[in-house]
Structure 1
Amino acid sequence: MSKLVENLRNIFKIEELRDRILFTIALLAVVRVGAHITLPGVDASLLAEVIRSQSQNSLFALYDLFAGGAFQNAAVFALGIMPYISAAIILQLLGAVVPYFRKLQQEGEEGRRKLEQYARQGTVLVAALQAWGVSIRLMNMTTPGGLPIVPEAVKGIGFIISTVFILTAGTIFIMWLGEQITERGIGNGISLIIFVGIIARFPNALLEEFQMIKTGSRSIIEELLIITGMVLVVALVILVTTGTRRIPVQYAKRVVGRRVYGGVTQYIPIRVNAAGVMPIIFAQSVMFLPSTIITFFPQSESLQEFAANFNYTSFWYSFIYALLVIFFTYLYTAIVFNPQDIADTMRKQGGFIPGIRPGKNTADFIDNILTKITLPGAIFLAVIAILPGFMIRLGVSPTMASFFGGTSLLIVVGVALDTLQQIETYLLMRHYDGFMKTGRIKSRVGY
């Protein structure tokens, strides 16, 4: 504990780092405030009543996860940063199939700037379309007693236009805040905005667990076992997230003038979980589609019966969900990691893998390792994805169970590690010990 306190003191001794952290906290506070300001024309009390009666097993719940609770509050930041993420993912996928975007991805800094500009423009379009859908949904929402959350006098084209304008402007403002955090703060701004939105749910999760102890439905020993299990799961996620397979690459010596280049051995780090959190997001989107569609047909008894039997705590839901996660892990890894490009780059730079011929043989060798190392990563992601549903069946509250795995845990761990690494870099640059004096965050410091 004394070491941690000393590191925290060291952080605030460095003026630049202190200013960056305080700037980041201030902007994240603005994001959280905007997540609780309800849109004009929406009755907040009736909206809360509707939220309590709705199922969390829908695409709206997944969207609300990234919006940090702003979506279910019908806040001015209801769309959160998701339109920007959607636009960025679309551009990334286009880079795999459209030569123009693929060329931009390979043009370095200039290509990155153009892609960022396209992402911003796409964000406006995606946000406007989603805001239009949100406005229609809000006008059609009623409480279990039949009261509309948007009064009849407010409904109409005026409400739609104002909602589209406010929500789109809110998304653009959040995108700008994220860019400011990245440039003038600490960590990746977009990721931190999502991170804070998820962490904001944790106090409510603890409160629900405390209420269960207070009412006698769970003992203190059982609660301690649950917390211990959560710590172990987080430790495993950190282990897999930072786990890599290093492929040695030898560079031949070259003499240019009086200088000698090359002649050293470097490594290509292939992550066990190269796809990150994206396979779970894609799989969740597919699995939530049926329940989302069913919410639009509340009068259909057969559909409601199907929804009751095919919920996220059932065996078949977990089985299909796990298979989808494994499938999307391989698919997304194949999109973001191209062994042929790596082999071509190595050959141009005079590098080679010892014992492997350059060119196609090198690409096949890397692809073989990638295929083998992706399998345990995919299985681990599948287990993490279905773990929250398993914990709910054991009696853990749904809010607390979400921190046992799934999208929430992977995002929290990934963002925390990246931010911690940036802070440690500042400390080491000023000759202070980092948070991990004897073992830094491997595979993130570099090789």
Structure 2
Amino acid sequence: MLNRLRNNDLFIRILFTMMMIALMELGRHIAIPFLDPQGMKDVLKENQLLQNLSTTTGGQVNYPSLFSIGLAPYMTGMIMFQAIKLLDIDSIKKMSEYQSGMTQRGITFVLACLQSFQLVYLVRQHITKSSYQIFGFDANAVSALVILVTGSMLVAWMADMTVDRGMGGAGILIFPGIFEAMPRSLINGQGLGTGFLELTPTILIVFAISVVVVLFSTLFLNKSELRIPLQRPMIENDFSESYVPIKVLAAGGMPFMFSSALFMIPGYIATLGTNQSYAEFVSNYLNFNNPIGIAIYCGIIVLLGYAFSLMNFRPEDTAKTLKESGDYFFGVVPGKQTQSYLTKRLMVLSTFANIFFVVVIGAPLVIGMYIDGIANFSFVFSNILILVTILDNILDQAKVLYLRTQYNLMEL
């Protein structure tokens, strides 16, 4: 029995994933010395930008810990590198897998340094002063910065290991943080016009029904896909039709991991005191109880939906692979025309997905303009979308691995 489990790929991957999640939770609770936990908590409670980014990237900014930065630098670095790869640059396209990995790690390191510096700067008044200095800076502040950057790079390594040897990819590591934040988002909102929601019996019933509808709608759309018939002249197969699938929710839950953070960046800049008229505009319009603010927020989700759909499906790479293998779509010339054909189909499906996103996220915000607290539903729904898309992909991966364990070549 034990020997069979050792050779069971599904069991090993599940065990490895659970170990990574446990390490992630452990790191989120290893306190950084030299910092006053209560003072840091009071300061960061007012910074909704960091709070929201931390929630959707597995960080911990409620108190100073080794993994306070979370997956934000890793995920942002991955997105930036994928966006760079979409550009028609020969030197980027000719990179080996090792070079691509090192480049992405370099971007992650720079982002980790920047975000760690921001966090240390915000809580600088609550760092125990040292009698030593490093390059003119307080030694304890520098030590805290180094610890945060080290923790962030360790999380990036854990994410890569989970992708390679675990299940669910890097997204599985943010599960605990999202589950922990959902009750807080429902009751207290995320600032910028959202506030306390009193959980009356009526509100709880409406919320429960809404969650069920959003949950099943997301599951249905995440399973839905367009199957484009594929002509394969080099392969004859009478048993099934070959096709290229394009998922309706090709972007997954990625747009919601960054939409709130992007929406709050102008407000964060305004707090730096750059321009009074700019600060007034941000204060009056960029919030969740103003039609303009809601429209801008939904617009950010739509743009991210299209962007992540292109990054995840990659029409150019698919068209190139089809051309190299000799496969093609009926009536479509291989190469650039195939790429354009796939891109158009992807954009149509992404439009349907974005309409769904806007309805699910935008409707509670609009209703919240007239009924206090209902806007908080929007943030819970976005977390549900993230969790469902990641969990559904995990189940699909588990199914494939399970079927592989049932396949015995000697029985054929």
* TM-score (normalised: structure 2): 0.80
Per the alignment, residue 379 of structure 2 pairs with 402
Q: How far does residue 336 in structure 1 lie from its aligned partner after superposition?
A: 5.5
Q: How far does residue 37 in structure 1 lie from its aligned partner after superposition?
A: 3.2
Question: 1 CA distance for matches of 2:92 and 2:29?
Answer: 38
Alpha carbons of structure 1 residues 378 and 222: separation in structure 2 relative to 1, 3 Å: closer
Question: 2 CA distance for matches of 1:152 and 1:399?
Answer: 40
Letter of the 2:94 partner, please give it: K
Q: How far does residue 338 in structure 1 lie from its aligned partner after superposition?
A: 5.3
Contact 2:319/2:334, CA 8 A, preserved across alignment: yes
Question: 2 CA distance for matches of 1:329 and 1:71?
Answer: 27
Question: 1 CA distance for matches of 2:24 and 2:44?
Answer: 21
Question: 2 CA distance for matches of 1:284 and 1:99?
Answer: 34
Matches within 5 A, 1:156-171: 156-171=137-152
Which of 173, 176, 182 lines up with 1:196 in the alignment? 176
Q: How far does residue 229 in structure 1 lie from its aligned partner after superposition?
A: 0.6
- Does the residue aligned with 2:157 lie in a helix, a strand or coil? helix
Per the alignment, residue 26 of structure 1 pairs with 19
For these two proteins, the number of residue pairs brought into alignment is 391
Question: 2 CA distance for matches of 1:229 and 1:351?
Answer: 44
Which of 270, 291, 297 lines up with 2:267 in the alignment? 291
Per the alignment, residue 269 of structure 1 pairs with 245
Question: 2 CA distance for matches of 1:302 and 1:122?
Answer: 31
Q: How far does residue 61 in structure 1 lie from its aligned partner after superposition?
A: 2.6
Q: How far does residue 250 in structure 1 lie from its aligned partner after superposition?
A: 1.2
Q: 1:228-258: CA deviations, max 9, x gaps?
A: 211211221222223211110111146xxxx
Per the alignment, residue 436 of structure 1 pairs with none
Letter of the 1:117 partner, please give it: M
Cα RMSD over matched residues?
Answer: 3.7
Contact 1:388/1:402, CA 8 A, preserved across alignment: no
Q: How far does residue 162 in structure 1 lie from its aligned partner after superposition?
A: 0.5
Per the alignment, residue 70 of structure 1 pairs with 60
Per the alignment, residue 440 of structure 1 pairs with none
Structure 1: 5+ residue runs without aligned partners? 1-11, 105-110, 140-147, 210-215, 255-259, 433-447
Q: 1:42-97: CA deviations, max 9, x gaps?
A: 21122233344x153x3x23321234351232322111121122222222122122
Letter of the 1:379 partner, please give it: I
Question: 2 CA distance for matches of 1:302 and 1:374?
Answer: 33
Alpha carbons of structure 1 residues 358 and 40: separation in structure 2 relative to 1, 3 Å: closer
Contact 1:283/1:325, CA 8 A, preserved across alignment: yes
Question: 1 CA distance for matches of 2:106 and 2:254?
Answer: 22
Question: 1 CA distance for matches of 2:249 and 2:72?
Answer: 22
Per the alignment, residue 400 of structure 2 pairs with 425
- Does the residue aligned with 2:126 lie in a helix, a strand or coil? coil
Alpha carbons of structure 1 residues 24 and 267: separation in structure 2 relative to 1, 3 Å: same
Letter of the 1:276 partner, please give it: G
Per the alignment, residue 38 of structure 2 pairs with 45
Per the alignment, residue 93 of structure 2 pairs with 102
Q: How far does residue 358 in structure 1 lie from its aligned partner after superposition?
A: 4.3
Q: 1:341-383: CA deviations, max 9, x gaps?
A: 5445434423232344545554443343233222212222333
Which of 100, 105, 115 lines up with 1:120 in the alignment? 105
1:229 and 2:210 matched: yes
Contact 2:231/2:329, CA 8 A, preserved across alignment: yes
1:374 and 2:350 matched: yes
Contact 1:387/1:404, CA 8 A, preserved across alignment: no
Per the alignment, residue 411 of structure 1 pairs with 386
Question: 2 CA distance for matches of 1:185 and 1:103?
Answer: 29
Letter of the 1:402 partner, please give it: F
Q: How far does residue 301 in structure 1 lie from its aligned partner after superposition?
A: 9.8
Contact 1:279/1:328, CA 8 A, preserved across alignment: yes
1:247 and 2:228 matched: yes
Letter of the 1:122 partner, please give it: I
Question: 2 CA distance for matches of 1:323 and 1:76?
Answer: 35
Contact 1:23/1:184, CA 8 A, preserved across alignment: yes
Contact 1:270/1:370, CA 8 A, preserved across alignment: yes
Which of 123, 126, 136 lines up with 2:121 in the alignment? 136
Alpha carbons of structure 1 residues 231 and 331: separation in structure 2 relative to 1, 3 Å: same
Between stretches 65-74 and 240-249, larger displacement belongs to 65-74
Question: 1 CA distance for matches of 2:187 and 2:261?
Answer: 29
Letter of the 1:99 partner, please give it: D
Alpha carbons of structure 1 residues 361 and 50: separation in structure 2 relative to 1, 3 Å: closer
Contact 1:21/1:186, CA 8 A, preserved across alignment: yes
1:175 and 2:160 matched: no
- Percent sequence identity over matched residues? 23
Question: 1 CA distance for matches of 2:279 and 2:165?
Answer: 50
Contact 1:67/1:78, CA 8 A, preserved across alignment: no
- Does the residue aligned with 1:377 lie in a helix, a strand or coil? helix
Q: How far does residue 430 in structure 1 lie from its aligned partner after superposition?
A: 4.4
1:81 and 2:67 matched: no
Letter of the 1:420 partner, please give it: L
Alpha carbons of structure 1 residues 62 and 293: separation in structure 2 relative to 1, 3 Å: same
- Does the residue aligned with 2:242 lie in a helix, a strand or coil? strand
* TM-score (normalised: structure 1): 0.74
Letter of the 1:96 partner, please give it: L
